[in-house]
Structure 1
């Protein structure tokens, strides 16, 4: 098995800029923008900011917001102490457009970017720092003999998978060992990401996540370790699960158990 060299301290990104995608209106839940939904009495946006702020590599944050709510988002952010500067900027009409606008709004000194969803309130603390430590650096570690453009947290699948045949019948079983479920934050070299955003806009292509977009345009993305607790709130039932999980964490903390993340 080939040995992958990892980032040494002298080679770590000097400045990671984080982008929190929060411009969605939460149509599938139907309770307004997800960023303002509360779990444990606190808006999702503040949960995610706490997680992002726990990473020493992160030196700036941009939050994408619905156009009409940028001032409300900024006031909410300003109501809580932040370790690093946080800027709110209007998002786009799609996730990909918001990610591109968020990356463009980061300060020029941010040489790496971490893009995450406001709908993941339980991202473990220090996730970005941990993923950077996992990132393969050596030439030949990625596609075409180039170093990896980035790394994402991912999980193996546990359900059995089947292809769909005609009508209601199952087709051939699919090897779930070949698949990974992608999570966020997804971390990339900034120039690699911006080149891919520009190429996708030029070609009129939309992708479900940044990793898929970057790989489509020839970049290599490493599969880092994910966390089952880092689930995404998409439907109303997910919000109920988040409340239950938050209550579990609070009970464990009160009992002196190790804190999540």
Structure 2
């Protein structure tokens, strides 16, 4: 993002991006508990955010690990033992809709593992180290993966434990599950479920927030 502040704490209108994201799940009856995993130096301020914004479903705020999948393991271990289904979501995806989350949940309960995704719109090229195109994959088979990603808890735990044993690091949670030979299904999401990552994402995020407010009749 190129800012001194971590992207999840940047203000989107009047609230940190992370708070906008958490409020999506706070409002869903299907969500029982939320475990928020953050940087070690951010635990106390995130606990303060949770209290300030009344995020009652956030039961614990924990310091994460050096890699994404390490943080997911820490969060999973903190969940109550009777939680059988979990979702992992990026804190900088505040525009995921309730309908999309539910679609991912339904798919996971049928298949044990599901990810949110959208078909890619652009032609994708595989390029080597010299900057030369080596392959053009068939676009119809390509999907851009988003979050949330939903799993039976025992399955994801086994996958992450195996990843630790094998010293494997994946770019998302589904990769660890795929290594077990388990099929991961896709639930179609929305193109507006953006991951706010670079400076040009912020104006688009403001636009999406304004659109959402107009749809809800709460335009500011």
Determine if the TM-score, normalized by the shorter chain, exceeds 0.5.
yes
How many residue pairs end up in the alignment?
A: 219
Q: Residue 84 of structure 1: CA displacement?
A: 2.4
- Match of residue 155 from structure 2: 192
Sort the Cα spacing of 1:47 and 1:172 in 2 relative to 1 into closer, same or farther, 3 A: same
Within the candidate set 65, 69, 73, 1:100 is matched to: 73
Within the candidate set 59, 62, 87, 1:89 is matched to: 62
Within the candidate set 121, 146, 157, 1:183 is matched to: 146
Within the candidate set 32, 35, 53, 1:62 is matched to: 35
Q: Verify: 1:231 aligned to 2:201, yes or no.
A: no
Contact 1:34 1:118 in 2 (8 A): no
Contact 1:73 1:88 in 2 (8 A): yes
Contact 2:103 2:187 in 1 (8 A): no
Contact 1:54 1:126 in 2 (8 A): no
Q: Residue 135 of structure 1: CA displacement?
A: 3.8
- Match of residue 89 from structure 2: 116
- Match of residue 128 from structure 1: 101
- Match of residue 153 from structure 1: 116
Q: Distance in 1 between matches of 2:195 and 2:138?
A: 24
Q: Distance in 2 between matches of 1:238 and 1:47?
A: 15
Q: Distance in 1 between matches of 2:184 and 2:193?
A: 20
- Match of residue 247 from structure 1: 210
Contact 1:112 1:190 in 2 (8 A): yes
Contact 2:156 2:177 in 1 (8 A): yes
Runs of at least 5 residues in structure 2 that lack an aligned partner in the other structure? none
Partner SS, residue 74 of structure 2: helix
Runs of at least 5 residues in structure 1 that lack an aligned partner in the other structure? 1-27, 138-147, 257-261
Deviation by residue 1:114-134 (Cα, 9 ceiling, x = unmatched):
000001011112433232223
Q: Residue 178 of structure 1: CA displacement?
A: 1.3
More helix as a share of residues: 2
CA RMSD of aligned residues (A): 2.1
Q: Residue 53 of structure 1: CA displacement?
A: 1.9
